[in-house]
Structure 1
Amino acid sequence: MMLPFSNKTYSAMDFNELPFQHAIEFKQGNGSRQLAVFSDPECPYCQRLELELAKLDDVTIHVFPFPLTQLHPKAEQISRKIWCSPDRASAWRDYLTQQLAPDNPGNCDAPVEANLQLGQALGVNGTPTLILSSGKLITGAASAEDIDALLD
């Protein structure tokens, strides 16, 4: 069962002004629709959401690693290891769906702190948080069907 989600409008920044260089990108199908996700690799709701995101078609998903270390002490180190992997997208999905941690020390220049500051500025206070290209912010895990409808 999915955690109920809520909708609210986010207006701190235009979607296209998000620092996508700090995100892990997934292009599925033609990638024509856009979605940003603030996600903690250790968050069980984020792990469920990742399974739903993988079902979406014709979408580009920008995942901003957003470790909530007060809840998940290992999340920052896992986020760094994923970021330092040669294939970040595969490393992210492998960890969230199968708990397969990357085999590296995680000591590259990862944007973890920048993502935490960005999330705070946008009012992200939990994970997962989705931001649609329209600027609508959705908190909590949602089904692929619900996300698909919101993207259309």
Structure 2
Amino acid sequence: MSDSEWASLRREVMASIDYERLITVRYGAGGGRRLVLFSAIDCGYCRKMEESLRKNAATVNTTFYIIPMSLRDVERDGSASWQKVSRIWCSGESGQAWRSYWQSGAIPPSASCDIDARSASQLAYQLRDILSAVGARMSGTPAIFREDGSKLTPSTNMSATELAETYGPAGLPHVDAVSPYWLADPGSAESASSTSTGGSALDLGGLLKKILK
């Protein structure tokens, strides 16, 4: 695949994410942004980033869609940490629960939800692996991806102006309307068209639906 084809695939993968299933945190009016943020509740740099955003909240105009994580292995010593992730994610006000956690360490009470500690870990790492497979790789947390799948490198030393320019409307990449091509359902007209023109309908679309819907 050419660089432009990889870029097209990344845009389509980003557009296929069910953002309503993620934790939504808006600053200002939201800025028309859809920034995907992988952030771990036990990550020191994540805490510094949250503190910077909270300090400059009056000048930031953006929306983060958060995949909450823990740095610990859920199958070894991380069950308790991932349970906290689950309770934040399952909260009826998950965005506020996320902010409250970083402000005071508060964890919401358990709620009926289809995301437990183990499935929260699976969701986070499966989405990470899918993005990595199309060239949107993360090497640690926090990791931020723009609407086109390009990666932002967060800094804990950004000024208020830099935060506004990076995360706000000024930082929005140009993304054309995305039509199914790479992720078209097998047998669909789009899939047949992509195959006939040299493309290939990948199964990532179905996998994303399983992960986030």
Query: TM-score per shorter chain, which class?
Result: 0.7 to 0.9
- What residue is the counterpart of 2:67 in the other structure? 64
Q: Distance in 2 between matches of 1:37 and 1:109?
A: 21
- What residue is the counterpart of 1:148 in the other structure? 164
- Provide the secondary structure at the position in 2 that maps to 1:47: helix
Give the strand-richer structure, 1 or 2: 1
- 2:123 aligned with 1:109, yes or no? no
- Give runs of aligned pairs for residues 71-86 of structure 1, distance below 5 A: 73=78, 74-86=80-92
- Structure 1 107/68 Cα, relative in aligned 2: closer, same or farther at 3 Å? farther
- Give runs of aligned pairs for residues 5-24 of structure 1, distance below 5 A: 11=7, 13-14=10-11, 15-24=14-23
- Give runs of aligned pairs for residues 24-103 of structure 1, distance below 5 A: 24-34=23-33, 35-54=35-54, 55=57, 57-70=60-73, 73=78, 74-103=80-109
Q: Distance in 2 between matches of 1:67 and 1:107?
A: 21
Identity of aligned residues (%): 24
Q: TM-score, normalised by structure 2?
A: 0.57
> Is contact 2:38-2:141 (8 Å) kept?
yes
The unaligned stretches of length 5 or more in structure 2 are 1-5, 132-136, 171-213
Cα distance, 1:85 vs structure 2? 1.6
Q: Whose Rg is larger?
A: 2
Q: TM-score, normalised by structure 1?
A: 0.76
Deviations 1:17-67 (A, max 9, x none): 333133111222221242221011121211221122332532111111132
> Is contact 1:41-1:79 (8 Å) kept?
yes
Deviations 1:91-126 (A, max 9, x none): 11111222112222x662126222220112223341
- 2:130 aligned with 1:121, yes or no? yes
- One-letter amino acid of the counterpart of residue 31, structure 2: S
- One-letter amino acid of the counterpart of residue 13, structure 1: R
- Structure 1 149/36 Cα, relative in aligned 2: closer, same or farther at 3 Å? same
